[in-house]
């Protein structure tokens, strides 16, 4: 579609659009040490990103997501920081990293003498692996090599007629070009289950999509809330149905190949929906405590970058994967022009068409995939959140 792109070839054949070293902590007690390691080694020549899991209790979901993040196509090397007594399977994580062909190192604070010694060891580990990370070959990148996700945050009355359908149009183009696209948030699609079912690639996929929305509805009712927020109402949205239809428009119109859960990589290229609502009883609180958590789950399923639609506005970005902000409201774009990448509100203010905004977005995706920074990247936004969930994987 637009221009030539190059990426970083990994041992599993996937290609990254970034080549970063990740420093990850495996319990909140190790957060400070990991943060200091990242801060002391991060540079424009060798970006070092901080991620982590704050919990101490074991959780299969968090373990899987972290393993997928540490072997993400955009990641070239990993330094793991453990306190030493948490339940996270640190040796398994390190083995996964090394088996993927990436350099990996482990710092166990309780075995190093404490904070200062652990920071020193972590800094040395980053410096030691930098040549190997920088040696990953650059290769030609094609649209079929890319996996693009989308989330929405701070939706308003403009979202369903500007930014969201513009992303849906973009998804149609990407899927037609052989790419992989993932949309999410069943709680914001309640009422759209019949339309989703009809778009399933098979009857079984259609049934799974329908059941996914039903599960979300039950979960939210048990929690005593839904996805409709005060901010949505202040932004002009009137009902959950209006919000759901606006969110649905992000998915475009193509056949949905399958339903995936966080950490599951799509088997073949195409369009997928992600189920982010935990299985079982509603005992985990909000399905996602923030939009950042949804971006993390998108990355765990292989997304190279994420399209973030917003009407009220957000300044959040992400570690590992670039975030492109698509603003639905022309007034919000004026107020937050430092942080918005695309002004889809021009559909309202200037009479731009969905296709024009989609072409602008496709062009920017190509530029970002080829190394251009998004606004959140350029400003150093690397938000990250990983919590507890449970899925009954078959």
DSSP E strands in the chain: the ranges are: 5-9, 15-16, 20-25, 48-52, 75-82, 104-108, 138-141, 147-152, 180-183, 256-260, 271-274, 305-310, 323-327, 342-343
Q: How crowded is the C-beta side of 55, counted as CA atoms within 13 Å?
A: 16
Q: How many C-beta atoms surround the C-beta of residue 134 within 10 A?
A: 14
* Contact indicator for 23, 50 with CB cutoff of 8 Å: yes
- Residue 282 is classified by DSSP as S
**Residue 279 structure tokens:** 């299985």
Question: What does residue 63 show for φ and ψ, rounded to 5 degrees?
Answer: -65, -45
pLDDT single digits (tens) 4-33: 899 999 999 999 999 999 999 999 999 999
pLDDT single digits (tens) 335-366: 999 999 999 999 999 999 999 999 999 999 99
Q: How many angstroms separate the CA atoms of 24 and 53, rounded? A: 8
Mean pLDDT of the chain: 93
Q: Which of the residues in the chain have pLDDT under 50?
A: none
Which pLDDT score is estimated for 243? 66
Q: How crowded is the C-beta side of 136, counted as CA atoms within 13 Å?
A: 30
Q: How many angstroms separate the CA atoms of 366 and 6, rounded? A: 10
- Within 8 A by CB and 6+ apart from 218, the residues are 282
Which pLDDT score is estimated for 194? 96
**Residue 99 structure tokens:** 């088996």
Q: Give ∠ CA 201-257-219 in degrees, rounded to 5.
A: 100
Which pLDDT score is estimated for 226? 61
Question: What does residue 307 show for φ and ψ, rounded to 5 degrees?
Answer: -90, 120
* Contact indicator for 247, 155 with CB cutoff of 8 Å: yes
Which pLDDT score is estimated for 281? 84
In the chain, the largest separation of any two C-alpha atoms, in whole Å, equals: 64
Q: Dihedral of CA 99/392/152/294: which sign?
A: negative
Q: Give ∠ CA 327-333-336 in degrees, rounded to 5.
A: 110
């Amino acid at each position: 579609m637009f221009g030539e792109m190059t990426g970083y070839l990994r041992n599993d054949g996937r290609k990254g659009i970034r080549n970063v070293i990740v420093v990850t902590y495996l319990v909140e007690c190790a957060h400070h040490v990991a943060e200091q390691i990242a801060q002391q080694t991060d540079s424009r020549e060798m970006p070092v990103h901080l991620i982590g899991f704050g919990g101490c209790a074991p959780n299969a979901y968090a373990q899987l997501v972290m393993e997928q993040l540490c072997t993400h196509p955009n990641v070239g090397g990993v330094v793991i920081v453990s306190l030493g007594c948490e339940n996270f399977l640190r040796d398994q994580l390190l083995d996964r990293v090394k088996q993927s062909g990436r350099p990996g190192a482990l710092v166990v604070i309780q075995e190093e003498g404490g904070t200062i010694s652990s920071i020193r060891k972590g800094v040395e580990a980053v410096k030691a692996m930098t040549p190997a990370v920088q040696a990953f070959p650059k290769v030609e990148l094609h649209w079929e090599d890319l996996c693009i996700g989308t989330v929405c945050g701070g939706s308003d009355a403009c979202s369903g007629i500007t930014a969201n359908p513009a992303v849906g149009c973009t998804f149609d183009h990407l899927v037609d070009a052989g790419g992989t696209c993932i949309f999410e948030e069943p709680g914001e699609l309640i009422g759209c289950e019949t339309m989703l079912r009809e778009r399933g690639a098979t009857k079984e996929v259609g049934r799974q999509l329908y059941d996914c929305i039903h599960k979300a509805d039950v979960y939210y009712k048990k929690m005593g809330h839904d996805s409709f927020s005060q901010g949505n109402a202040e932004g002009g949205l009137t009902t959950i149905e209006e919000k759901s239809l606006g969110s649905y428009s992000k998915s475009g119109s193509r056949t949905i190949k399958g339903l995936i859960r966080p950490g599951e990589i799509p088997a073949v290229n195409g369009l997928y929906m992600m189920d982010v609502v935990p299985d079982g009883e509603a005992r985990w609180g909000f399905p996602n405590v923030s939009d950042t958590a949804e971006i993390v789950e998108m990355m765990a399923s292989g997304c190279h970058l994420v399209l973030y639609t917003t009407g009220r506005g957000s300044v959040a970005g992400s570690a590992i994967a670039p975030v492109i902000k698509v603003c639905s409201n022309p007034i919000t774009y004026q107020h937050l022009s430092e942080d918005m990448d695309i002004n889809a509100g021009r559909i309202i203010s200037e009479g731009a068409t969905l296709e024009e905004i989609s072409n602008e977005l496709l062009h920017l995706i190509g530029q970002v995939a080829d190394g251009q920074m998004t606004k959140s990247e350029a400003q150093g936004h690397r938000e990250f959140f990983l919590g507890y969930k449970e899925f009954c994987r078959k």
